[in-house]
Chain A
Amino acid sequence: MIEFALSKKQQELKEALHSLGRHVIRPMSLDMDRNKEVPESFLRNFMMMSRGVRSDDIAEFHEGTPRKERDPSKPSESNRTAVIAAEELAWADAAIPLSMPGPGLGAPPVRATGTPEQKKRFLGMFRDMDTGPLKWGAYGLTEPGAGSDVAGIRTSCRKDGSHWVLNGRKCYITNGGRAVWTVIFATVDPSLGRAGHRAFVVEKGTPGFEVGKIEDKMGLRANETAELVLEDCRVPEENLLGGEEAYRTKEGFMTAMKTFDNTRPLVAAMAVGIGRAAYEYARDFVKQNYVLTRPIPRYAAIADKLAKIGRRLEAARLLVHRATYLADMNIPNAKEASMSKAAAGQAATLACIDAIEICGAHGTLSSEHALLEKWFRDIKVYDIFEGTGNIQRVVISKRIVSNLKSF
Chain B
Amino acid sequence: MIAFEPTEDQRLMQQAVAEFAKATLLPRTRELEHARGVPEDIRRTAHEMGLGLVTAPEAAGGQGQGLVTSVLIEEELGAADAAAAFGLAGPGAFGRAVIELDGPERAAELLAGFADEGGWDRFGAVAWSEPAPCRTHEGFATRAERIDEGYRITGKKAFVGNAALADRFVVFAQVEPDRGWGGIGAFVVRRDNPGLRAGERHKTLGLDAASFGEVVLEGAVVREADRLHGDGSEEGFTRAALRFFVKHALVVAARAVGLARFAFDLAREHCDTRVAFGKPIGHFQAVAFTLADRAMDVETSRWLVWKAAAAWDAGLHEREALLASARAAAHAFEATMRTADDCVQLFGGSGFIRDLVAEKLMRDAKQLMLAAPTAEQLDQLASAIELGQKLDPALVLPTPDTQAIFT
Contacts and interface: CB of A to CB of B under 8 A. Distances in A.
A5 B315 CA distance: 11
18 contacts: A1-B5, A294-B384, A294-B392, A303-B387, A306-B383, A307-B380, A310-B383, A314-B324, A315-B300, A318-B307, A339-B296, A394-B288, A396-B295, A397-B285, A397-B288, A401-B280, A401-B282, A401-B291
B281 to A, nearest CB: 9
Contact of A322 (B299, B331, B384): B299
Interface string B289-314: 10111011001100110110111001
Interface string A394-406: 1011001111100
B330 interface: yes
A49 interface: no
Interface stretch (B52-60, B187-195, B395-403): B395-403
B283 A3 contact: no
Max chain A CB contacts within 10 Å: which of B10, B326, B380, B392? B380
B369 to A, nearest CB: 15
B125 interface: no
Given A2-B3, A307-B327, A401-B268, A296 B292 contact: no
A407 B289 CA distance: 11
Contact of A400 (B284, B295, B402): B295
A310 B327 contact: yes
Given A6-B2, A304-B380, A318 B288 contact: no
Interface of B: 1-7, 10, 68, 138, 181, 268, 271-272, 280, 282-285, 288-289, 291-293, 295-296, 299-300, 303-304, 306-307, 309-311, 314, 324, 326-328, 330-331, 376, 378-380, 382-384, 386-390, 392, 394-395, 399, 401-402
Contacts of B280: 401-403
B388 A2 contact: no
Contacts of B401: 295-296, 300
A287 interface: yes
B402 A296 contact: yes
A315 B307 CA distance: 10
Interface string A241-253: 0000000000000
A19 to B, nearest CB: 21
Interface residues of A, number: 54
A283 B388 CA distance: 10
A360 interface: no
Q: Please classify the interface of chain A as helix (H, G, I), strand (E, B), loop, or mixed, using the class held by over half of its residues.
A: helix
A315 B253 CA distance: 15
Nearest to B399: A295
Contacts of B271: 401
Contact of B295 (A307, A339, A394): A339
A318 B304 contact: yes
Given A315-B300, A319-B299, A407 B288 contact: yes
B77 to A, nearest CB: 18
B300 A318 contact: yes
Given A303-B387, A307-B379, A397-B292, A295 B304 contact: no
Q: Nearest 8 CB-CB pairs, A to B?
A: A295-B394, A307-B379, A303-B383, A397-B288, A315-B300, A401-B282, A318-B303, A311-B327
Interface in A279-329: 283, 286-287, 292, 294-297, 300, 302-304, 306-308, 310-312, 314-316, 318-319, 321-322, 324-325
A314 B327 contact: yes
B295 A4 contact: no
B389 A297 contact: yes
B80 to A, nearest CB: 21
Contact of B388 (A287, A342, A392): A287
Given A6-B1, A392-B292, 8 more contacts: A294-B384, A295-B395, A307-B382, A310-B382, A311-B379, A315-B304, A321-B2, A324-B2
Contact of B379 (A5, A10, A308): A308
A191 interface: no
A297 B384 contact: yes
B394 A296 contact: yes
A4 B268 contact: no
Contact of B1 (A5, A339, A402): A5
B283 A407 contact: yes
A211 to B, nearest CB: 37
B380 A303 contact: yes
B283 A404 contact: yes
Max chain B CB contacts within 10 Å: which of A10, A77, A295, A392? A295
A297 B3 contact: no
A295 B5 contact: no
Given A2-B68, A311-B304, A400 B268 contact: yes
